[in-house]
Amino acid sequence: MPIQKNEGILLRRQDLRETSILLTFYTKDFGKVKGIVRGVRGGSRALSVGAAYEPFALDEIVFYERKDREIFTISQCDLLNYFSPIRASLDKLSYASYIVELLDSVTSLSDKNGEVFDLILKSLDLLSGDSSPRRVARIFEIKLLGLLGLMPNMSECVNCGDNSGANPPRFSLRHGGLICRKCLDVDKMAVSILPGTVKYMVHVRSSPFEKAAMVKVASEVGKELERLLRRYLDYHVERRLKTVEFIKEIA
């Protein structure tokens, strides 16, 4: 039962019994992990360490790794970054909560990916500044889909491979990418897509995070991008995200 120490972003918290909590982290070196912290609810200790147990806090955790169990014992949890500017804005708070809920929904326990950890950390850092929360969310979605191998094919027709651009494409949720006009019979539910939307998705997918964060898009592209990504994620994610409904309400 080796003792491990690692940085992690808190994705989810669940209260257990009278004094214990179950925490789900996405860690730098171990991927997603779950662990129980005992004796922290109620009393003076809860007041002193409570910030470390808030969603999307960056913590340094010490846990006992057990190969025969999915839930570990967390013996220490120290706060590294509370991302206070995000928590001061309802808009930013809602999008940060969406980001961690989406990550939790599409990743499995112990599926290690250091690039995913870097992505969520950079996204939270960007949200803490002056960037549009919606733009940060779109960048996160596109980058995450790419890292997990779920990114739709935006460079050629998924049916025939045509990338000439001679036939304005449509977007297919079922086939996961673009379909040229010649191949519409393979998915009659495919929807139209603006060239600017295609270009932006390709650019974000292939560019470093810092460069992608600097690109602004036209209003109609931003709205279409949000709509298409939401439908695509709903199609491929098994559970409905609560934060999506909350974002709609505050909008």
Residues 148 and 210 in one domain: yes
* CATH at residue 3: 2.40.50.140
pLDDT at 161: 92
Residues 4 and 70 in one domain: yes
Q: Is residue 227 part of a domain?
A: yes
* CATH at residue 143: 1.20.1440.120
Residues 59 and 133 in one domain: no
Residues 219 and 124 in one domain: yes
Mean pLDDT of 141-146: 96
pLDDT at 166: 63
Q: Which of 82, 101, 136 is the last residue of a domain?
A: 82
Q: Which of 22, 56, 82 is the last residue of a domain?
A: 82
Residues 9 and 127 in one domain: no
Residues 133 and 184 in one domain: yes
pLDDT at 240: 80
202-213 pLDDT, tens per residue? 999 999 998 999
Q: Is residue 110 part of a domain?
A: no
Q: Is this structure's pTM higher than 0.85?
A: yes
pLDDT at 116: 97
Residues 73 and 152 in one domain: no
Q: Is residue 104 part of a domain?
A: no
Q: Is residue 208 part of a domain?
A: yes
Domain count, the chain: 2
Residues 4 and 56 in one domain: yes
Mean pLDDT of 36-48: 64
pLDDT at position 44 over 70: no
Q: Is residue 237 part of a domain?
A: yes
pLDDT at 47: 42
Q: Which of 82, 106, 128 is the last residue of a domain?
A: 82
Residues 7 and 129 in one domain: no
pLDDT at position 147 over 80: yes
pLDDT at position 67 over 80: no
Which range among 103-117, 211-225, 227-241 shows the weakest confidence by mean pLDDT? 227-241
Range of the domain at 27: 1-82
Percentage with pLDDT > 90 across the chain: 75
Percentage with pLDDT > 70 across the chain: 95
Six-digit token string for 232: 């695509």
Residues 153 and 217 in one domain: yes
pLDDT at 42: 61
Residues 245 and 126 in one domain: yes
Confidence of residue 41 (pLDDT cuts 50, 70, 90): low
pLDDT at position 101 over 50: yes
Residues 126 and 73 in one domain: no
User: What mean pLDDT is reported for the chain?
Assistant: 91
pLDDT at position 158 over 60: yes
